[in-house]
């Protein structure tokens, strides 16, 4: 999918002489999860220092400014962000720091607290002053105003009031606390590096720093890491786990091991299933890079049609390139993607993408392929039609902007100008993801509208869409 939908990534390490350097590297591995801001908070056992700024990790911590050196402490957490809640502003960059009667606290959050604005209104009425607009700051206020003694107990009481999704790292002067919401929407994994514990959104960060993967932080689990070792708590009511299936389809890095499977393997299985369901005679299968690559390999192998890189992505165009004026706006997609003339000319092509949001980019790509001489273009999507918004930490548009919420596949085919367009069905997606295990533990609400948790005040979907825009 080329129409970006990103979220956040978190990384933490306890008691390592190079904790900050390793957090910096870990954040580089998680950069795909958010490119808007990055930050690191670290503790020397007495005092927390924090630095966060706008832009990618390399830019925020660029060499020569001495930032990493100033943060150099043995306990650290880090965050990369894309704004799913709260505006794109440096005051919302994480980790977010707070200071209350029991000392300092820094928080790095991946997810979305869906009742954050209700809680915010309530606490502002009591006199709390919020410095940012992100949902994460609410957690700090809940912790500060809790009547419990320890930070751990305060966190537990705070999280009992919170609805939505969170994979959360909390740093105090001497503790690192990692926790995941009871549904386990967002990933969070625990690892070990010699005598240190590490936590990360994805295992690809462990590979980079050569940490050993131990296990997932379980849904609803709180892991408390101190000099005395590691303790695990499960204070919340158990519910059926609902891992975000979109992590498999699009968000996570293919080399990460997540929810019990390697992401690449799952994406290939989705592509294989897509080929079984939607086979078409063609000369080649080409992915929309990068996220369509794994599914296209699966499709190509299953359909026995050669895989080609017919589209090449320019990796050096950031999110913020200046929008060209109207007369040359059609150049836009070519800034990011170009087709290889000789590869596509005169060919019958199956184009694989992982999902369709508004279909505007797909339309431009198909037009470009035809301009370059493609004979037939068959568009195949390795997930079902995206019809519903996400309230659990993925930045999807509202239903009004999701083309599949108001148009059939054939109408979208006509709009995009492809010869044929087919999606994976919900049943086939489930089959591919379960891989014969019989165990389906995923949220798929953006395809089915079946949201795992109730909305605040029992709101209906329409009200909820307005509510989250507040």
Q: Which residues are catalytic?
A: 8
| Residue from 162, 244, 274, 424 in contact with ligand SF4 (CB under 6 A) | 244
Of 298 and 393, nearer to ligand SF4 (C-beta) is 393
| Residue from 416, 432, 445, 468 in contact with ligand SF4 (CB under 6 A) | 445
Residue (of 33, 20, 24) closest to 256 by Cα position: 33
The dihedrals phi and psi of 392, each to the nearest 5 degrees, come to -115, 30
Residue (of 451, 43, 386) closest to 460 by Cα position: 451
Window 388 to 407, contacts with ligand SF4 (CB under 6 A): 390, 392, 394
Would you give the binding string for ligand SF4 spanning residues 146-165, x where CB under 6 A is met? Answer: --------------------
The angle that helices 426-434 and 263-278 make with each other, rounded to 10 degrees, is 140
The residues pairing with 257 across neighbouring beta strands, listed in sequence order, are 262
6 sits near ligand SF4 (criterion: CB under 6 A): no
464 sits near ligand SF4 (criterion: CB under 6 A): no
82 sits near ligand SF4 (criterion: CB under 6 A): no
CA 201 to chain centroid: 9
Following CA atoms 116, 122, 125, 127 in sequence, which dihedral angle do they give, to the nearest 10 degrees? -70
Of 114 and 359, nearer to ligand SF4 (C-beta) is 114
Q: Under a CB-based contact definition with an 8 Å cutoff, are residues 35 and 12 in contact?
A: no
Q: Please give the Cα distance from 142 to 95 (Å, whole number).
A: 16
Of 185 and 372, nearer to ligand SF4 (C-beta) is 185
Following CA atoms 91, 95, 98, 104 in sequence, which dihedral angle do they give, to the nearest 10 degrees? -150
The dihedrals phi and psi of 10, each to the nearest 5 degrees, come to -130, 150
Q: Under a CB-based contact definition with an 8 Å cutoff, are residues 272 and 301 in contact?
A: yes
Q: How far is the CB of 198 from ligand SF4 (least distance, A)?
A: 25
Residue (of 201, 224, 183) closest to 109 by Cα position: 201
Token couple for 69: 């050196």
| Residue from 245, 263, 344, 374 in contact with ligand SF4 (CB under 6 A) | 245
444 sits near ligand SF4 (criterion: CB under 6 A): yes
User: What sign does the CA torsion over 403, 408, 413, 415 have?
Assistant: negative
Q: How far is the CB of 185 from ligand SF4 (least distance, A)?
A: 5
443 sits near ligand SF4 (criterion: CB under 6 A): yes
Q: Please give the Cα distance from 84 to 392 (Å, whole number).
A: 9
- Starting at the edge strand found earlier in the chain, the sheet holding 420-423 runs 284-287, 348-353, 376-381, 420-423
- HSE (CB half, 13 Å, CA atoms) of 434? 13
- The two beta strands, 222-226 and 243-244, are unpaired
Of 269 and 402, nearer to ligand SF4 (C-beta) is 402
Q: Please give the Cα distance from 14 to 74 (Å, whole number).
A: 7
| Residue from 206, 246, 299, 423 in contact with ligand SF4 (CB under 6 A) | 246
| Residue from 108, 159, 446, 468 in contact with ligand SF4 (CB under 6 A) | 446
185 sits near ligand SF4 (criterion: CB under 6 A): yes
Candidate segments 244-252, 291-299, 356-364, 400-408, binder of ligand SF4 by CB under 6 A = 244-252
Q: Please give the Cα distance from 430 to 360 (Å, whole number).
A: 27
351 sits near ligand SF4 (criterion: CB under 6 A): no
Candidate segments 231-239, 257-265, 330-338, 441-449, binder of ligand SF4 by CB under 6 A = 441-449
Q: How far is the CB of 446 from ligand SF4 (least distance, A)?
A: 3
Q: How far is the CB of 469 from ligand SF4 (least distance, A)?
A: 17
Q: How far is the CB of 163 from ligand SF4 (least distance, A)?
A: 14
Q: How far is the CB of 243 from ligand SF4 (least distance, A)?
A: 8
Q: How far is the CB of 450 from ligand SF4 (least distance, A)?
A: 9
Of 21 and 383, nearer to ligand SF4 (C-beta) is 383
Contact positions vs ligand SF4 (CB under 6 A) = 185, 244-246, 390, 392, 394, 443-446
């Amino acid at each position: 999918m080329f129409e970006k939908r990103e979220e956040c990534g978190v990384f933490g390490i306890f008691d390592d002489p190079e904790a900050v350097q390793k957090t910096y590297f870990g954040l580089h591995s998680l950069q795909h999860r958010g490119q808007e801001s990055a930050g690191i908070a670290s503790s020397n056992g007495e005092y927390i220092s924090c630095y966060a700024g706008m832009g990618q990790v390399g830019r925020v911590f660029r060499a020569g400014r001495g930032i990493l050196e100033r943060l150099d402490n043995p306990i650290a957490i880090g965050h990369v962000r894309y704004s799913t809640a709260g505006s794109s502003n440096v005051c919302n960059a994480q980790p977010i720091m707070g200071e209350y009667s029991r000392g300092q606290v820094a928080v790095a959050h991946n997810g979305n607290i869906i009742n954050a604005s209700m809680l915010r209104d309530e606490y502002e009425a009591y006199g709390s002053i919020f410095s940012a607009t992100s949902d994460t700051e609410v957690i700090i206020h809940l912790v500060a105003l809790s009547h419990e003694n320890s930070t751990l107990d305060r966190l537990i009481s705070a999280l009992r009031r919170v609805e939505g999704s969170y994979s959360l790292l909390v740093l105090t002067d001497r503790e690192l606390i990692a926790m995941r919401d009871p549904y386990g929407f967002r990933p969070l994994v625990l690892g070990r590096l010699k005598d240190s514990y590490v936590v990360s959104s994805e295992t690809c960060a462990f590979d980079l720093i050569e940490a050993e993967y131990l296990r997932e932080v379980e849904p609803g689990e709180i892991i408390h890491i101190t000099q005395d070792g590691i303790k695990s708590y499960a204070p919340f009511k158990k519910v059926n786990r609902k891992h975000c299936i979109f992590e498999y389809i699009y968000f996570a890095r293919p080399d990460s091991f997540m929810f019990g499977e390697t992401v690449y393997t799952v994406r290939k299985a989705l592509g294989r299933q897509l080929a079984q369901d939607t086979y078409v005679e063609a000369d080649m299968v080409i992915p929309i890079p990068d996220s369509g690559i794994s599914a296209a390999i699966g499709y190509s192998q299953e359909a026995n049609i050669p895989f080609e890189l017919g589209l090449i992505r320019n990796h050096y165009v950031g999110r913020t390139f200046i929008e060209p004026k109207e007369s040359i706006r059609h150049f836009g997609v070519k800034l990011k993607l170009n087709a290889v003339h000789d590869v596509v000319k005169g060919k019958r092509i199956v184009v694989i993408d992982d999902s369709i949001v508004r279909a505007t980019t797909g339309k431009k790509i198909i037009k470009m392929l035809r301009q370059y001489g493609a004979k037939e273009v068959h568009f195949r999507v390795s997930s079902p039609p995206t019809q519903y918004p996400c309230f659990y930490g993925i930045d999807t548009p509202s239903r009004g902007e999701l083309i599949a919420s108001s148009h059939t596949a054939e109408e979208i085919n006509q709009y995009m100008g492809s010869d044929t367009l087919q999606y994976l069905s919900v049943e086939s997606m489930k089959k591919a993801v379960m891989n014969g295990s019989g165990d389906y533990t995923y949220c798929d609400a953006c395809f089915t509208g079946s949201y795992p948790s109730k909305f605040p005040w029992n709101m209906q979907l329409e009200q909820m869409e307005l509510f989250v825009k507040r």
